[in-house]
Structure 1
Amino acid sequence: MNTTTETLEPIRLATPAAPPAALPNWIKAAARGFMTHVLPPLVIIGLLLVIWELLGSRPGAALPPPSKVVQDTWELIVSPFYDNGGNDVGLAWQMLASLKRVAYGYTLAVIAGVSLGVLVGQSTWALRGLDPLFQVLRTVPPLAWLPISLAGFRDGHPSAIFVIFITAIWPIIINTSIGIRNIPDDYRNVARVIRLNGVEYFGKIMLPAAAPFIFSGLRIGVGLSWLAIVAAEMLIGGVGIGFFIWDAWNSSRISDIILALFCVGIVGFLLDRIVAFIGHLVTRGTAAS
C-alpha cells in the first residue's frame, strides 16, 4: 500500500499597504495660510482684472485695459531706476523722493504728536486749553495748509514736509492722549508706591500702557502722510510720484497714471504694514513683561 506524502505550503496573508507618509506640519500650515490669506484676494483680483479687460477692450472705452497698460508702461516697469536728469527719472526715484519727504514730516509728527498727546493726557489744564484748538485745526484739509507753508518757507520741499507734518500729527496727538488718560489707576498707584521718578514712570508705565493707542494713531498718521504728499507734489512740482501723476495727466499718458496709482497703493499698504508690525512687536513685548 503506497502512501502519498503531500507538502503543505504555509498560508501567506496579504500584507496591508503602508499608509502614505503624513505631510510635515510646516507644509500643512503653509497650505492653510495660502488657502486662507492668499487665494481669496488672488481670486478677487483676477476677477476684477478680467472685468476691467473686458470693459476696457470695448470700442470707445475711456480707460485702457490692463494688457494695454502693461504694454504702454513696460519701459517704466523694467527700468525703474533710469535717470536722464531733471524730472525725467524712473518710478523708483519718484517714489524714493516722495518717501524721503514723508520720512521727514512723519518723524517730526511722531515726536511732536506723542509729546503733545502725553501732555494733554496727563494735564487736565492742558486738555481744556489745547483740545479745542486741536479739534478745530485737525478739520482743515491738508492742501489748505500748502499756500501758507509756501508763503512761510518760500520753497516747495520744506512746504511739502510741513503739509505732511500738520496732516499726520492730529491722530497721533488724539490717540496718544486717549491712551494716557486710559491708564488704569492701579498702575499709577504702583508707581507711587515704588516711588518711580518722572522718567521711570514715563518709560515703564506710561508708554507701555498707552502703546496700543499710540500705534493706532501712528498707523492713521502714516496713511494720511502718504495721501498728503501725493496731493502736495501735484502742486509744488519737482521729483515725486505726485508730480509724476500730474505730469502724466497733462501729457495724456493715462497708462502711466494707472501704473503710478498701483505703485502708490502698494507703497501705502507696505507703510501701514510696517508700522503695524512694529506696534505688534512693542505691544506683545509689553504684555509678555
Structure 2
Amino acid sequence: MNAMLQPGSAQPPDTEVIATEKPARRPRRPLAANSSSRVRQQLSATAMKIVAPLVGAALLVLIWQLITIKNATFPTPLVTFHEAVKMFSDPFYRNSPNDQGIGWNLLASLQRVAVGFGLAALVGIPLGFVIGRVKFVSAMFSPIISLLKPVSPLAWLPIGLLVFQSANPAAIWSIFICSIWPMIINTAVGVQRVPQDYMNVARVLNLSEWKILTKILLPSALPYVLTGVRLSIGTAWLVIVAAEMLTGGVGIGFWVWDEWNNLNVPHIIIAIVAIGFVGLLLEQALMALARAFTYEQVSN
C-alpha cells in the first residue's frame, strides 16, 4: 500500500477533512427596532392623509391671496372667512321666498337631485340589464344612446320647460336625462362581461330568467352598476346648479346667480365651496356603498 494509516487515525493522511458547518442564522431584529419601524410607517401614513391635504389647502389659500393683491375687487381669504362665519351661524333663516339661508337652498337642490336621480336609476338600471342581455335591444338602443349622450345638460332644459310648463319639473327632467346615460352604459357593459361559462351552466341547469338575473347577472354586474351610479350622482349635482341659474326659485344655483347680481362675491365663493363639499360627500357615500357590496358578499 502506498498510503499508510497512522495510528489513531481512521482515514488516510492525504485525505482532506471536509468540515460541515451549520448555516449561520440571521440575527433577529430587536423588538424595539420593529416597533420603531411600525411607528414610522404609521406617521408616514398619517402625514399622507392629513398633512398633505393641509399643505394643498394652504397652497390654494396662498394663490388666492396673491390674486387679491393685483385685483382689489376680489375678496381676500380673511374677508371670505368672516362672511362664511356669519352665513353659517344661521343657515336656515327665512325672511321671504326670495331671501332664505344657504341651508334651505342646498336642501332644495338636493331634493331635486334626489327625485331626478331616483327616476334615472329606476329607468336606467333595468334598461341597462335588458340592453346587456338581449342583443336585439342592444343594437336598437346603441345608436340612440350614442346620439343623445353627448348633448349638453342645458340643451335639455328648454324641452323640459316646453313640456312641463314649470321650472321645477324642467330642472328635474334635466337631471334625469343627463344622469341616466352612465347607469345604462355601465350596467349594460357589466352584464355583457359576465363569463360565458356561467351562462352555459345556467342553460344546462335550465334556470329561469329570474334566477339568471338574481344569481348570476346581478352579482357579477354589481360593481359596474355602482360605478355608473357614482358617475351619475356627480353629473346630477353638476346639472342642477346650472339648471337653477336659468330656472330661478329656491336652490343653490339660483342663489349663486342672485348673489352675482348683488355683486356679493364672497357669498359666491362660499357657495362654490359648499357645492363642492356636498358633491364630495355624495361621492364618498356612494364609494362606501360600492365597497360594502362586494362580489363575495353579494354572491352569498
Q: Given the alignment, which residue of 55, 60, 66 partners 2:67?
A: 55
Displacement after TM superposition at 1:203 (Å): 1.3
Distance 1:70 1:54, change over 3 A: same
1:12-54 residue CA offsets vs partner (Å, 9 max, x unmatched):
xxxxxxx99x98xx99887554222222111111122123123
The match for 1:138 is 149
Q: Deviations along 1:88-147, whole A, 9 cap, x unmatched?
A: 111111111000000000011111111111111111111111110111011110000101
Equivalent residues in 2 for 1:15-94, closer than 5 Å: 31-56=43-68, 58=69, 60-94=71-105
Distance of 2:40 and 2:210 partners within structure 1 = 48
Q: The residue matched to 2:95 in structure 1 has which SS?
A: coil
Contact 1:53 1:67 in 2 (8 A): no
**TM-score (normalised: structure 2):** 0.83
Change in Cα spacing, 1:89 to 1:204, as seen in structure 2 (3 Å) is same
**Given residue 62 of structure 2, which amino acid in structure 1 is its aligned partner?**
V
Residue 211, structure 1, aligned to residue 244, structure 2? no
Residue 170 of structure 2 is aligned with which of 155, 159, 164? 159
- 1:174 equivalent to 2:174? Answer no
Q: Is the 8 A contact 1:212 1:279 kept in 2?
A: yes
Alignment partner of 1:244 is 2:255: yes
Quote the Cα distance in structure 2 between the aligned partners of 1:30 and 1:90.
42
In our comparison, the structure showing a higher alpha carbon Rg is: 2
Q: Could you tell me whether the CA contact under 8 Å between 1:114 and 1:176 is conserved in 2?
A: yes
Amino acid at match of 2:138: L
- Which stretch of structure 1 is more off in the superposition, 191-200 or 126-135? 191-200
* Structure 1 residue 194 displacement after superposition: 3.4
Q: 1:129 aligns with which of 117, 137, 140?
A: 140
| Cα distance in 2 for residues equivalent to 1:136 and 1:286 | 37
**Partner of 1:84: helix, strand, or coil?**
strand
Q: Equivalents in 2 of 1:33, 1:179: separation in Å?
A: 34
1:173 Cα deviation after fit? 0.6
* Residue 186 (1) aligns with residue 186 (2): no
- Asked if 1:272 is matched to 2:283, the reply is yes
Percent identity among equivalent residues? 40
Unaligned ranges ≥5, structure 2: 1-30
CA RMSD in angstroms comes to 2.4
What is the CA-CA distance between 1:64 and the residue it aligns to?
Answer: 1.2
Task: Select which of 103, 124, 139 maps to 2:114.
Answer: 103
Residues 178 and 288 of structure 1: CA distance in aligned 2, closer, same or farther (over 3 Å):
closer
In 1, distance between residues paired with 2:40 and 2:296?
A: 28
